[in-house]
Structure 1
Amino acid sequence: MTSGQNILRLAAGLCLAFVTAFSAAATERGPVTNLPMPRFVSLKAEEGNVRRGPSLSHRIDWVFTRRNMPLELTAEYGNWRRVRDRDGVGGWVHYSLLSGVRHVIIESDMTPMLIKPDPESPVNAMAESGVIARLMSCGLDWCRISAGGSSGWVEKRGLWGVRPDEIKD
C-alpha cells in the first residue's frame, strides 16, 4: 500500500469518527424529558431563582429578571433544569419557570429587520442590541423574528438563542 493510500484511509477513518461523534451528540436526549440536549428554552416568569444545585435547599446564586430571556438548557434532574445565559452564567432553575416558546437576543446594535431574507431587501425595523425577540422561523442563514410590534428577517449569526445549523419552521 502506498503512502497516498494510507493517507486516504486515515482521512476516511477520521471522517467516519467525526460523523459518528456528531451523530451521537445530535441524538443526545434528556433523561427526564427525552428531548434533545442541549437545547434552547425561554424564561417564562418575570423572575427566576438560579440555584447552585437542583433543589430548594441549594443556595440562590442570583435571579434572572428578564421575561422571555433565552437560555441554553444543558442538564435535567427531576423537576430541575440546568441552564446558562449568553454570558455563560447559569445554574439550576425549576422547570415550571421555563417555556419551550423560543426567543433570541439581538447581539448587535441597530440590527436591521428585513422584509425578506435577502440583504438587498427593504428594512422593516431596526433592533437594538440586547432586545429579546420571539423566534418565528429559521433557515440556514436567516431567522424571522418579532419584537415590539415589528417583525422581519435577521441574519442568524447576529442572534443568540439559536444554533448555527438549526432550521425551524
Structure 2
Amino acid sequence: MRLRAALAACLTVLAATGAVVSLRPAPVHAAEDGGAPYWVSLRNSLTNMRVGPGRDYRINWVYVRAGVPLKVLRQMEGWVLVEDSEGARGWMLTQFVARKAHTGIVKGGIAEIRENKDGSGALLWRAAPGVIARIGDCSAGWCKVDIDGRQGYVRQDAVWGAGAP
C-alpha cells in the first residue's frame, strides 16, 4: 500500500512540474540513428544484453555464442538497442557487435543448402534451425552461405538476418 501511495505522489509531482512520462518506447528514426536498422553479429562468445543503455542497468539476457546475428534498432552514446531472431530486445555496448561479419540464423524448419545460386543443382546438406551461417550475396530469393567452411545456397526466407533488416 505504501508503494502505491509513493508512486501516486511521484506522478503528482511530475504532473505538477509539467514533465512528460511515457511508458512506450520512442519510435526509431533512421536519420537519428546512423542508418539503423542494420544487421550486426556478436563478436564474443559471452555477451550481456541489458534493459537500458548503461552498465548500471540489469542484465536481461546473456548470449554464450559468438556470431549470433542481431538487428540494430537504435544507437545511443556507445550503446545499441538490438533485437534477436526470437524478438528479445535490449541494449549492448557497440564494442561487442560487428557490422562487417554478416551472419544469419536458420529459422523455422530445416533449410536445404543447394549447389547453385538459383536453388537448382544437388542438395548439398540440410541445416537445422539455430545454425549460424555467414551470409554472402543474396539475389532472386537465394543467398550464398558459409557454414563452418562448407558453402552453398539457401532460400533467403529460411534465414533470419538475410536481406533488408
Whether these two folds match at TM > 0.5 is: yes
TM-score (norm 2): 0.76
Inter-partner Cα distance in structure 2 for 1:153 and 1:143: 5
Q: Give the secondary-structure state (helix, strand or coil) at the position aligned to 2:73.
A: strand
Q: How many residues in Structure 1 have an aligned counterpart in Structure 2?
A: 136
5+ long unaligned stretches in structure 1? 1-26
Residue 30 of structure 2: which of 25, 28, 31 is its match? 28
Check the 8 A contact 1:124/1:150 in 2, yes or no: no
Distance verdict in 2 for CA 1:39–1:30, change over 3 Å: farther
Cα distance per residue 1:15-48 (max 9 Å; x no partner) = xxxxxxxxxxxx92354xx3x2111110111011
CA RMSD of aligned residues (A): 1.8
Question: Is 1:67–2:66 an aligned residue pair?
Answer: yes
Check the 8 A contact 2:119/2:153 in 1, yes or no: no
Identity of aligned residues (%): 27
Question: Is 1:128–2:128 an aligned residue pair?
Answer: yes
Distance verdict in 2 for CA 1:153–1:66, change over 3 Å: same
What's the CA shift for 1:119? 3.4
Inter-partner Cα distance in structure 2 for 1:137 and 1:117: 9
One-letter amino acid matched to 2:58: R
5+ long unaligned stretches in structure 2? 1-28
Inter-partner Cα distance in structure 2 for 1:157 and 1:29: 27
Aligned to 1:85: 84
Q: Give the secondary-structure state (helix, strand or coil) at the position aligned to 1:75.
A: strand
Check the 8 A contact 2:119/2:142 in 1, yes or no: no
Check the 8 A contact 1:125/1:150 in 2, yes or no: no
1:1-169 correspondence to structure 2 within 5 Å: 28-31=30-33, 34=34, 36-100=35-99, 101-163=101-163
One-letter amino acid matched to 2:36: M
Aligned to 1:7: none
Q: Which runs of 4+ in 1 moved over 4 A?
A: none
